[in-house]
C-alpha cells in the first residue's frame, strides 16, 4: 500500500469509519453471484472499517479480513468487538497464509497500490485462493479530482485501473473472467463511478508468470544481476521482439550482446552517480570485491566525459550516437570492448548460470536461451513486470547500503534506475537529416511543411517504447503532431501511409546509413538488404496493433 495513503487513513480514522459506515456495503449485491456456495470461506482484503466484512458475515459466509492500517483495524474492532477474532493485520503485496480461501473480496484497494507493486498483489491474491475460488474486485472507473501524480486533494493515491488492463493481467496469471459491471458512487460523490469485476481461479498450473515471480522471491539476493537480466528480457520483448531466434526444442535465443547493451544502459547512471550505489553485498565504496564490470564501466564513462561532455547523461547520449555512427575514438572503442567483455562474463557466469529454477534460461553459443512460454509472458506482460523489477532493484540497493551508507535509500536510487538518454539530443540527428530533404511533407497528412512548421514525431510514442531510432522519428506537421501526441497510429493508417513511411526510411538510410542500419539490425535481428523495408514495416504495424488491441492504448487515425 502507498505510504502517503496509509498515513491519511491512520490520521483520519474516525472520519473514515463514520463516512463508510453511513451506508450499506455497495458490493454486497454481488456476493451471491461471486460466491454462490453458502458458508464459503471468504477473505476481505483491505477491509477498512469492516463494513464489507460484516456484510459477508451477515450473509452467512465464514469471513475474515485483513487491514494494513493498524489504527483503522483497532478502531473497527473497538466499534464492532465481534470482529476481534476475524480481522487480522495484513497488507498487499506481501500477505500470505497457508490456508486457501473460496473467495477474496478486494474492494477499493488496488488503486492505492503503486503500479510497480500491482503484479505482486495480484499474484498474492491468486495464491490465497483455492482452485475454483472467486475474486470480487472493485476499482474506480472515474474520478475528476486527481492531480498529475494521481493523488486526490487528501494526498491519497488513485492509480488508474483500466478494467480491460486489469482483466488482461488477471487472465495472464490463471484467472477466468466472469463479469464486469459499472455502478455510480455509493457515497453519492459527483464525478465518481466504480467498476466491479468477478474472476475465477481456473487452474493450479504453475504458469510462466508465477515462475518469473518465484525467481524474484526465492533466488539469493546477493547482487542486482538477476533483476537486470529480467529487465533486459522485458525491454527486448517490447522493443526488439523479433530479434530472437526460435528453436525447435521449446526455447528462444537472444544474443548476449543485446542483453549486454541493455546492462550498459542500466548501470551507466548507477556507476556515474555522485554517490556510491552498491549493486551487491560486497560492492561498497573502496571495496576490493566490487561488481565485476564496475571498474571497466567507470573508466569508459570517465573517458566519455572527458571527450564528449562532463555531464554523464549528455556524455552517454553523445557516446551512443558516435557508437552507432562508428566514429568512436580508438581509446573509447577499446574500452567499450573491454566493458562489454566484462558485462558478458557477469551475465553468463551470474544470473544465467545460477537461476533458481533449472532450465528457465541457459547460455549456448553466444545466446541466452529462454523457454518459449516464459518469452511469451515477457512479450505480453513486460510493462507490468518491468515496474516491479525497478522497484525491487531500488529496495535491494537500499538493503546493500544499510550497513555502510544508510543514506542510500530507495528514493535515492530510483531516479538513476529510471534515467534514459536525452531524447532531444538523439532527435537532433533526425532533424538535421530532414533539413537536407527537399519538398518535405508531413508523414501523416501529405501536407507540405517547412523546418519552422515541422515536428519530429515518434511514430510509436516515446512514452510507451522509449525508442529514438531513426526509423521511428518521422517528420510531421506541428498541428498534426499535437493532435496525435502519445496516441498509436492504427494499422489501417499505417497501411495507407506505407509508401510515405518507406520513402522516408530509404532517405534516412541514404543520409545516415551506419546509424540507420545499426538500429534496424538491433530491432529485427539482421539487416536484410533485399527486404528490410517490408520487415521493418511489418514490425511497426505489429507493435501498433499490440498496443491498441492487447494493451488498450488509445488509437489514432488522421482526420478521424
Cell numbers 458458508 correspond to 39
Regarding whether 405 and 282 lie in a shared domain, the answer is yes
In this structure, the strands spanning 251-255 and 367-371 are antiparallel
pLDDT reading at 201 higher than 80: yes
Task: Decide: 491 and 544 in contact? Cβ < 8 Å.
Answer: yes
Whole-angstrom distance, CA of residue 494 vs CA of residue 510 = 22
pLDDT reading at 543 higher than 90: no
Structure confidence by residue, pLDDT tens digits, 132-190? 999 999 998 877 788 888 899 999 999 888 787 788 678 767 788 899 998 877 666 66
In angstroms, what CA-CA distances link 88 with 46, 84, 530? 10, 8, 65
Structure confidence by residue, pLDDT tens digits, 257-315? 999 999 999 999 999 999 999 999 999 888 889 999 999 999 999 999 999 989 898 89
Regarding whether 158 and 40 lie in a shared domain, the answer is yes
Residues 6+ apart with CB under 8 A from 503: none
Integer-rounded Cα Rg, in Å, for the chain is 26
Residues 6+ apart with CB under 8 A from 164: 552
Q: For 32-39, what is the mean pLDDT?
A: 93
CATH number at residue 63: 3.40.50.150
The total of structural domains in the chain comes to: 3
Of 388, 418, 448, the residue that ends a domain is: 418
Whole-angstrom distance, CA of residue 48 vs CA of residue 79 = 12
Burial tier of 265 (Cβ tally within 10 Å: 0-12, 13-18, 19+): middle
pLDDT of residue 36: 93
pLDDT reading at 481 higher than 60: yes
Residue 310 sits at the vertex; the CA angle it makes with 309 and 315, to the nearest 5 degrees, is 45
Q: What is the pLDDT of the chain when averaged over all its residues? A: 88
pLDDT of residue 443: 96
Q: For 387-402, what is the mean pLDDT?
A: 90
Regarding whether 252 and 124 lie in a shared domain, the answer is no
Whole-angstrom distance, CA of residue 414 vs CA of residue 430 = 30
Q: For 113-138, what is the mean pLDDT?
A: 87
Regarding whether 224 and 336 lie in a shared domain, the answer is yes
pLDDT reading at 550 higher than 70: no
Q: Which of 344, 232, 351, 366 is nearest to 280 (CA)?
A: 351
Regarding whether 435 and 345 lie in a shared domain, the answer is no
Task: Decide: 179 and 228 in contact? Cβ < 8 Å.
Answer: no
Regarding whether 295 and 149 lie in a shared domain, the answer is no
Q: Which cell goes with 351?
A: 544470473
Q: For 402-411, what is the mean pLDDT?
A: 87
Residue 344, helix vs strand vs coil:
helix
Q: For 22-39, what is the mean pLDDT?
A: 91
pLDDT of residue 219: 65
Of 392, 418, 444, the residue that ends a domain is: 418
pLDDT of residue 207: 56
Torsion of CA 392, 396, 397, 400, to 10 degrees: 180
DSSP notation for 399-441: HHHTTT-TT--HHHHHHHHS----HHHHHHHHHHHHHT-SS-B
pLDDT of residue 264: 96
Regarding whether 226 and 101 lie in a shared domain, the answer is no
Regarding whether 253 and 182 lie in a shared domain, the answer is no
Residues 6+ apart with CB under 8 A from 540: 459, 460, 471, 472, 494, 501
Residues 6+ apart with CB under 8 A from 224: 279, 280, 393, 396, 397
Regarding whether 436 and 409 lie in a shared domain, the answer is no
- The model's pTM is 0.66
pLDDT of residue 110: 92
pLDDT reading at 77 higher than 70: yes
Of 147, 166, 201, the residue that ends a domain is: 201
Whole-angstrom distance, CA of residue 490 vs CA of residue 487 = 9
Q: Which of 240, 135, 122, 227 is nearest to 172 (CA)?
A: 122
pLDDT reading at 113 higher than 80: yes
> What is the domain range of residue 288?
208-418
Regarding whether 362 and 239 lie in a shared domain, the answer is yes
Whole-angstrom distance, CA of residue 400 vs CA of residue 280 = 6
pLDDT of residue 208: 59
- Name the residue with higher pLDDT: 325 or 219: 325
Confidence band for 423, pLDDT divided at 50, 70 and 90:
low
pLDDT of residue 241: 64
Q: Which cell goes with 237?
A: 520483448
Residues 6+ apart with CB under 8 A from 292: 342, 345, 346
Confidence band for 191, pLDDT divided at 50, 70 and 90:
low
Report the residue count for the chain. 560
pLDDT of residue 382: 81
Residue 25, helix vs strand vs coil:
coil
Structure confidence by residue, pLDDT tens digits, 427-439? 788 888 998 888 8
Regarding whether 413 and 312 lie in a shared domain, the answer is yes
Residue 391, helix vs strand vs coil:
helix
E strand or H helix that includes residue 34:
helix 31-34
Q: Which of 233, 251, 351, 241 is nearest to 291 (CA)?
A: 351
Regarding whether 433 and 304 lie in a shared domain, the answer is no
Residues 6+ apart with CB under 8 A from 144: 190, 191, 192
Q: For 498-503, what is the mean pLDDT?
A: 95
CA-based max dimension of the chain: 80
Amino acid at each position: 500500500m502507498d505510504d502517503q495513503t496509509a498515513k491519511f487513513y491512520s490520521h483520519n480514522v474516525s472520519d473514515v469509519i463514520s463516512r463508510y459506515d453511513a451506508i450499506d456495503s455497495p458490493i454486497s449485491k454481488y456476493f451471491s453471484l461471486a460466491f454462490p456456495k453458502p458458508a464459503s470461506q471468504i477473505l476481505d482484503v483491505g477491509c477498512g472499517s469492516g463494513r464489507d466484512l460484516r456484510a459477508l458475515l451477515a450473509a452467512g459466509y465464514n469471513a475474515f479480513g485483513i487491514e494494513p492500517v493498524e489504527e483503522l483495524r483497532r478502531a473497527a474492532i473497538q466499534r464492532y468487538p465481534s470482529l476481534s477474532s476475524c480481522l487480522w493485520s495484513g497488507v498487499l503485496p506481501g500477505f500470505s497464509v497457508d490456508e486457501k480461501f473460496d473467495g477474496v473480496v478486494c474492494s477499493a484497494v488496488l488503486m492505492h497500490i503503486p503500479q510497480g507493486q500491482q503484479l505482486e498483489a495480484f499474484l498474492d491474491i491468486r495464491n490465497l485462493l483455492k482452485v475454483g475460488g472467486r475474486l470480487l474486485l472493485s476499482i474506480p472507473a472515474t474520478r475528476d479530482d486527481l492531480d498529475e501524480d494521481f493523488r486526490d486533494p487528501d494526498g491519497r493515491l488513485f492509480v488508474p485501473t483500466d478494467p480491460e488492463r486489469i482483466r488482461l493481467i488477471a487472465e495472464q496469471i490463471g484467472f477466468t473472467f466472469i463479469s464486469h459491471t459499472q455502478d455510480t458512487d455509493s457515497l453519492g460523490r459527483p464525478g465518481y463511478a466504480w467498476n466491479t469485476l468477478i474472476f475465477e481461479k481456473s487452474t493450479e498450473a504453475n504458469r510462466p508468470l508465477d515462475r518469473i515471480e518465484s525467481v524474484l522471491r526465492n533466488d539469493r539476493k546477493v547482487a542486482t544481476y538477476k533483476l537486470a537480466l529480467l529487465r533486459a528480457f522485458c525491454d527486448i520483448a517490447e522493443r526488439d521482439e523479433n530479434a530472437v531466434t526460435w528453436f525447435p526444442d521449446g526455447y528462444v535465443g537472444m544474443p548476449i550482446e543485446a542483453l549486454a547493451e541493455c546492462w550498459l544502459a542500466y548501470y551507466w547512471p548507477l556507476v556515474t552517480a555522485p554517490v556510491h550505489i552498491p549493486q551487491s553485498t560486497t560492492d561498497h565504496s573502496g571495496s576490493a570485491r566490487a561488481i565485476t564490470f564496475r571498474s571497466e564501466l567507470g573508466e569508459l564513462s570517465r573517458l566519455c566525459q572527458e571527450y564528449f561532455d562532463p555531464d554523464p547523461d549528455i556524455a552517454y547520449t553523445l557516446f551512443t550516437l558516435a557508437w552507432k555512427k562508428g566514429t568512436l575514438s580508438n581509446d573509447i572503442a577499446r574500452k567499450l570492448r573491454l566493458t562489454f567483455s566484462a558485462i558478458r562474463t557477469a551475465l553468463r557466469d551470474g544470473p544465467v548460470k545460477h537461476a533458481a529454477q533449472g532450465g528457465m534460461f541457459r547460455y549456448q553459443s553466444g545466446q541466452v536461451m529462454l523457454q518459449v512460454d516464459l518469452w511469451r509472458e515477457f512479450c505480453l506482460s513486460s510493462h507490468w513486470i518491468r515496474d516491479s523489477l525497478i522497484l525491487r532493484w531500488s529496495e535491494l540497493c537500499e538493503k546493500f547500503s544499510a550497513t555502510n551508507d544508510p543514506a542510500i535509500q530507495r528514493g535515492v536510487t530510483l531516479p538513476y534506475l529510471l534515467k534514459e538518454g536525452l531524447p532531444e539530443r538523439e532527435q537532433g540527428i533526425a532533424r538535421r537529416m530532414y533539413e537536407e530533404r527537399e519538398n518535405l511533407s508531413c508523414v501523416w497528412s501529405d501536407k507540405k511543411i517547412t523546418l519552422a512548421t515541422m515536428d519530429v514525431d515518434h511514430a510509436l510514442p516515446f512514452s510507451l517504447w522509449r525508442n529514438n531510432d531513426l526509423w521511428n522519428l518521422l517528420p510531421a506537421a506541428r498541428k498534426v503532431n499535437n493532435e496525435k501526441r502519445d496516441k498509436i497510429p492504427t494499422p489501417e493508417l499505417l497501411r495507407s501511409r506505407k509508401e510515405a513511411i518507406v520513402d522516408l526510411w530509404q532517405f534516412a538510410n541514404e543520409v545516415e546509413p551506419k546509424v540507420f542500419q545499426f538500429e534496424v539490425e538491433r530491432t529485427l535481428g539482421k539487416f536484410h538488404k533485399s527486404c528490410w523495408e517490408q520487415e521493418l514495416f511489418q514490425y511497426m504495424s505489429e507493435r501498433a496493433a499490440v498496443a491498441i488491441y492487447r494493451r488498450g492504448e488509445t488509437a489514432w487515425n488522421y482526420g478521424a
